[in-house]
Structure 1
């Protein structure tokens, strides 16, 4: 696990975008997982800028969505799909066939998990899987207690996830379940990337990266991934020990 610390969130975001750009330059048809939420917003802005400037080409890659609130799609403000469409896809010349996301309104959600698992497996596995970290250490919607060996699955949302998740909506919204790629996907990705910013994430970042490895803190699985990359700004790294 390589931990890189940057002075600001903007510096961290640019570094994350540069990782994606380098991957696409090396392998244009890469399979890449992008998360939604606050953490990736700067990275996505840089990638849109790079694409508009001709510095990166998304035309041959395939993008996989990390997760979604069950019962929502891109028409629902606050959904993961809505976020990625609004902040990323709508600003790029993307073939819709190259965007693969969970249908969280599907009648057979277990079948959706199987569809995504099969898609990733049949396309040679993930090249980059980028995740943020929740206040309880969740990655995607892999909540505390999630086994490390799960692929895509349904999750019961933790109370803190429901509480924090309200910031994405215009009004209080009932959130009960999520559908998400699994921690096994992260471990098998050719490059697993965690991005985090801000002092509010410092405690859980330190616990995840330097504490006990166990399912009570899902992000601690990163300690089991030798090739993982962790990109932090100074605030998020402020409670780490012995890191320069």
Structure 2
């Protein structure tokens, strides 16, 4: 794992965006996994800007969404997919044929998982997989206890995820289950990238990157990923021991 610490959030976003930029230049039809949330927002803003400036062309790329709240889709404000559409897919004019997101409203969620896995197997391997780190060390919606060998799956949400997840909604919203790419996808990605920003993430970042490797802290899997990147600002890295 390559640990990269930057003076601030903007510098972290720019460095991450440039890694994505270089990958797309190297392989224009790369398959890229995008995560939702506050941390990647600045990265997507830069990528859209780069495309407008013709520094990069995403038209041949394929994209997958990392996860989703079960029972929601792109039309639900606060959903993961809604965020990806508003922050990247729509402004970057990504064709629907070149993206795959979870059908989290499906009657058969297992079938939705199989559809996602099949898309990745067909278009892959995953060139870049972006993930944030939750306050409990989750990656995507791989909650503590998630199987390191799992592919796409759905499972109950941890109480802290339900609590923190409310920030994405204008009113209190019932969240019970998540559907997500698995930790095996992360291990198979050519460039897995962990994103972290802010003091509030310092304790869990230190636990994940310098503590025991265990599925009780899913993000600790990054310690085993020689090709992985941990991208963070100084605040998020402030708990790490030299």
TM-score category by the smaller chain?
over 0.9
Corresponding residue for residue 139 of structure 2: 139
Deviation of 1:93 after TM superposition, in Å, equals 2.1
Structural mapping, 1:98-113, within 5 Å: 98-113=98-113
Give the match for residue 236 of structure 1: 236
Aligned to 2:66: 66
Structure 1 residue 78 displacement after superposition: 0.3
State TM-score, norm by structure 1. 0.98
Contact 2:62 2:123 in 1 (8 A): no
- Which residue number corresponds to residue 53 of structure 1? 53
SS at match of 2:126: coil
How many pairs does the alignment contain? 242
Q: Which residue pairs with 1:129 in the alignment? A: 129
Q: Matches of 2:222 and 2:93 in 1, distance apart?
A: 33
- 3-state SS, counterpart of residue 130 of structure 2: strand
| SS of residue paired to 1:88 | helix
Give the TM-score, by structure 2 length.
0.99
Q: CA deviation at 1:123?
A: 2.1
Match of 1:203 in 2: 203
Match of 1:192 in 2: 192
Contact 2:63 2:100 (8 Å CA) reproduced: yes
Separation in structure 2 between the aligned mates of residue 124 and residue 89 of structure 1, nearest angstrom:
19
Q: Distance in 2 between matches of 1:107 and 1:27?
A: 36
Structure 1 unaligned runs (5+)? Answer: none
Q: Does 1:220 align with 2:220?
A: yes
Q: Find the counterpart in structure 1 of residue 179 from structure 2.
A: 179
- Please give the alpha-carbon distance, in whole angstroms, between the structure 2 residues aligned to 1:86 and 1:102: 16
Q: 1: distance between equivalents of 2:30 and 2:4? A: 23
Per the TM alignment, residue 92 of structure 1 is displaced from its structure 2 partner at its CA by 1.4
Moved over 2 A (4+): none
Q: Give the Cα–Cα distance (whole angstroms) in 1 for the partners of residues 155 and 203 of structure 2.
A: 24
For the residue of structure 2 that corresponds to 1:127, the secondary structure is strand
SS at match of 1:68: strand
Q: How many Å apart are 1:90 and its aligned residue?
A: 1.5
1:17: which partner in 2?
17
Question: Matched residues in 1 for 2:121 and 2:21: separation?
Answer: 23
Q: Which runs of 5+ in 2 are unaligned?
A: none
